[in-house]
Amino acid sequence: MNQINKVNLGKSEIEITKIGLGCWQFSGGSGGFGGRYWPSLSPEIINEIVKVALDGGINWFDTAEAYGAGKSERNLANALHAAGMKNGDVVIATKWFPFPRRANSIRKTIDKRLHYLDGFGIDLHQIHASIALASTKGMMDAMADLVKDGKIRSIGVSNWSAGKMRRGFEILEEKHELQLVSNQVKYSLLDRKIETNDILDTARELGITIIAYSPLEQGLLTGRFHEDPSLIKKLGRLRKMMSFGLRPKKKLERTQPLIDALEEIAQAHNASPAQVSLNWLINFHGDVVVTIPGASKTSQMEQNIGAMHIKLSKDEMSRIDELTQNYM
């Protein structure tokens, strides 16, 4: 593997590259979180994507039970085995979906997560959403039990507000002497709300890593839809709605100035708009933010890896910042 600088996951000793691989698209085209959004990828393609990630220095992978009811976890494990990886060689993050379950489900389902991961341990286990029947205390207590039992190494959450994130952090630290290490949230140049709703500031204060998902807005920041709007028609209904809303043409027009700027900056670095977008995301706030773009092709994986090797100037970083202020 190529050597790439790593950062600590929260205050843990777990070290990760600033870009990991999001594995939602490994869900086998099934489940409410997979089948309605992603087409099924063959095992051969999944294996190739993971191999390219590993060869490029990526050392961590983010999946979830909700991604095809375990299929993403199993497909990831199969690809890692095919690449000759063993437990401990990579960092694995997965998630428990809270609604409509009780906190005890966290304890009851952990062996199923480990079963699907087929020999790979869970380095980061996350509460997948903020809406839950269980209390914050109940969920944090259950997660702490898994750490103490050696089932997982660290605890994270996803889509939690600043207040709820702080509450979870305090419960773990004061009652269990453990750390909340991450909050996985939507964050991109076209969605910078975490900078104004206290999530980013609270994470920085508490030493919590922000894991940004959808960093390229499902491909919008690559510029390919601006170049060829007809590609939008080929998207599934759910993905089209989530990415473009009811007025795709209006969204393309509104974001065109940003895409033009990204293309100009990218040309100066022999890079792509997507790589510039990812590089800004993982560097603008120091080491607080890491990200997990997905990949359904090896070429996309290669692009993601290349984003870590760009060095944007202060002026370029500031220009992108100014152009995206309206998305806070």
Q: Which residues are catalytic?
A: 67
d(CA 228, CA 238): 20
List b or e across 62-101, with b for residues whose CB sees 16 or more CB atoms inside 10 angstroms: bbbbbbbbbbbbbbbbbbbeebebeeeebbbbbbbbbeeb
Instruction: Give 144-147 contacts, CB < 8 A, sequence gap 24+.
Output: 144/172, 144/175, 144/176, 144/178, 145/107, 146/106, 146/107, 146/110, 147/176, 147/178
Q: Which amino acid does the sequence have at 78? A: N
d(CA 290, CA 283): 9
Q: How many CA atoms lie within 13 A of 220 on its CB side?
A: 26
Give the DSSP H or E segment for 279.
helix 273-283
| CB contact at 8 A, 17 and 59 | yes
- Does the CA dihedral 82-86-89-93 come out positive or negative? positive
Residues with Cβ within 8 Å of residue 115, at least 6 apart in sequence: none
φ, ψ of residue 191 in degrees (nearest 5): -155, 85
- 182 DSSP β-pair partners: 156, 209
| CB contact at 8 A, 60 and 91 | yes
Q: What is the DSSP letter of 142?
A: H
